[in-house]
Amino acid sequence: MASGMIGERAWRRVRSYFRRKSSPLEVYLYGRAACHLCETAAGVLQRIAKKVPLVVRYVDLDGEDCSSVTRAAYADRIPVITNAQGEVLGEGKISEYRLLPRLRKIAQGR
The CATH number assigned to the domain holding 53 equals: 3.40.30.10
In a domain, 11, yes or no: no
Of the candidates 92, 105, 108, the one whose C-alpha atom is nearest the C-alpha of residue 40 is 92
Q: Is residue 51 scored above 60 in pLDDT? A: yes
In a domain, 48, yes or no: yes
In a domain, 10, yes or no: no
In a domain, 6, yes or no: no
Counting the structural domains of the chain, the total is 1
* Residue-number span of the structural domain to which 87 is assigned: 27-109
Confidence (pLDDT) at 56: 95
In a domain, 40, yes or no: yes
Q: Mean pLDDT across the chain, nearest whole number?
A: 86
What digits encode the pLDDT tens for the residues 54-67? 999 999 999 999 99
In a domain, 1, yes or no: no
Tally Cβ neighbours within 10 Å of residue 6.
Answer: 10
